[in-house]
Amino acid sequence: MLLINLKQWRGMFRGLIADRSGLAFIELALSLPMLLGVGLFGLETINLATTHLILSNMASQVANNAGRVRTSIDEADIKEIMLGADMMGKKIKFSANGRVILSSVELNPTGTGQWIRWQRCFGSKAVSIHYGAQGTGMNDNTLADGIGPTGRKIFAPGGSAIMFVELVYDYQRLIPFNIYGARTITYLAASGVRERTDQAIKNASNLTPSNCNYVFF
């Protein structure tokens, strides 16, 4: 009887060794954390790339649309331009986490440099002044070399203007893990005006201007 039992146990043991029915489940359990990590990294990478694309297009669109307004420009035109920016940035919640700064830059009255005739903003993010506030360079040579980062300054010719845009945005990650760290993304864009000889901003509808309230750091 004991011999029979031993044979039975030996057969059962060999059967367990030969059984492969749970192998796939074990392999999946072991590899799932790695697969999940790779998947989340891929999703966050796609989100970051998409965010850059949206911001780049937004900066270019604001500058280009402001430059397209002919004859003269009004606060109503600015409202429409910023509304377009808001619609483009809905997916990434731009209005709550970013700011667009639109500046009209031209040769100052003294001919000694550029000046920011007017400036309008959109978005809730508090930013510091990087390239000058409204009125900068009007009566001096503060912007003698133009406006923009060192080595990439641009200069409006006499009798015309450029629409200069600075866009700043705090990146909003897609997944709860901070893979890429806290990021503030900045884009610059500029566009010359088309056929507009009067660069002063009008307000025919008596709208509240989208003025820029700067925070100094």
pLDDT digits (tens), the chain, 217 positions: 444 565 666 666 565 555 555 655 565 566 656 666 667 778 899 999 999 999 999 999 999 999 999 889 999 999 999 999 999 999 999 999 999 999 999 999 999 999 999 999 999 999 988 899 999 999 999 999 999 999 999 999 988 999 999 999 999 998 887 888 889 999 999 999 998 989 999 999 999 999 897 654 3
Report yes or no on whether pTM surpasses 0.75. yes
pLDDT at 4: 52
pLDDT at 179: 83
113-116 contacts, C-beta under 8 A, 24 or more apart: 113/137, 113/140, 113/141, 113/142, 113/143, 113/144, 113/145, 113/146, 114/143, 114/144, 114/146, 114/147, 114/155, 114/156, 115/143, 116/143, 116/147
pLDDT at 182: 85
pLDDT at 156: 94
pLDDT at 13: 56
Query: Shortest CA distance to 125 belongs to which of 99, 100, 93?
Result: 99
